[in-house]
Structure 1
Amino acid sequence: MVHSDPKLDIEEAAQGFAAIGSEARLQVVLTLVRAGRAGLSVGDILARTGMAASTLAHHLRFLVAAGLIEQEKVGRSVINRADFSRLEALAGYILAQCCADVVPPLALEKEGTDA
């Protein structure tokens, strides 16, 4: 799944943050981020995380539904990749709000002189 518009609305952001809100799912996402764009097979993720196969399958489904990872069938393997544009949009969602309500000191001084 390719996201043409990486901007998120609040509902999509909440879903993304919820998806990485468990330690196990965050571990899977970080493992895939470290692996880069080549991604990893399910077996490789199992080896790197030490999770049980059924547990990993559950977490992968959750992360795919949230749009944070992509899966591609290659032969008999399923390759999992972090969706870097989606993860970047999720990280940027919070940071884009930085200082939005801060009044610049110069504006405060001007307000004081108008009274």
Structure 2
Amino acid sequence: MDKTQTIAALAALAQPTRLQTFRLLVAREPDGVAAGELARLVGVPQNTMSAHLSILANAGLVRGDRQSRSIIYRSDLDRFREVTLYLIRDCCGGNAELCAPLIKELTPCCLPDEAANAN
């Protein structure tokens, strides 16, 4: 991941409908959501959703897979991880104790169910 790719991803997310759409797709992993259903859930016309999905796809944040007559969209969690890591790679100048609160907040969402329930 380089600076240009990161800027493209952040720019794609810097719009309320696209941010809402991306968050919805992340929440619906791994199943994804059909394009028409996304438009309904977000409350925008289908052609508007199509334009937003195109921007997100061009930034590498979502991908669409044709299933019969529908296109099912999914977030690209690998790309999301790359963007996030690019932003925090040099976190706190190597002072791990400064990054500890950030890591602690991120960890519960990423633990397997049994470990998350133990907290």
Cα distance, 1:44 vs. partner? 1.7
Q: Which residue number in structure 2 is paired with residue 107 of structure 1?
A: none
Q: Which runs of 5+ in 2 are unaligned?
A: 96-119
Cα distance, 1:85 vs. partner? 0.5
Match of 1:25 among 5, 10, 18: 18
Cα distance, 1:36 vs. partner? 0.8
Q: Deviations over 1:54-88 (max 9, x none)?
A: 11011001011110001111100001000000011
- Is 1:64 matched up with 2:82? no
Match of 2:28 among 20, 25, 35: 35
Q: Which residue number in structure 2 is paired with residue 4 of structure 1?
A: none
The count of residues paired between Structure 1 and Structure 2 equals 95
TM-score, length basis structure 2: 0.75
Q: Deviations over 1:38-64 (max 9, x none)?
A: 101012212211111111011001011
TM-score, length basis structure 1: 0.78
Larger radius of gyration, structure 1 or 2? 1
Q: Which runs of 5+ in 1 are unaligned?
A: 1-7, 103-115
Match of 1:92 among 85, 94, 101: 85
Q: Deviations over 1:4-49 (max 9, x none)?
A: xxxx111111111111011111011011011111101012212211
Q: Which residue number in structure 1 is paired with residue 75 of structure 2?
A: 82
Aligned partner of 1:93: which letter? Y
Match of 1:49 among 27, 36, 42: 42
CA distance, structure 2, for counterparts of residue 32 and residue 45 of structure 1: 9
How well do the aligned residues superpose, as a CA RMSD in angstroms? 1.3
Of all paired residues, the percent bearing the same amino acid is 28
- Indicate the SS of the match to 1:36: coil
Aligned partner of 1:63: which letter? L
CA distance, structure 2, for counterparts of residue 99 and residue 27 of structure 1: 29
User: Which of structure 1's runs of 4+ aligned residues deviate more than 3 A?
Assistant: none
Q: Which residue number in structure 1 is paired with residue 101 of structure 2?
A: none
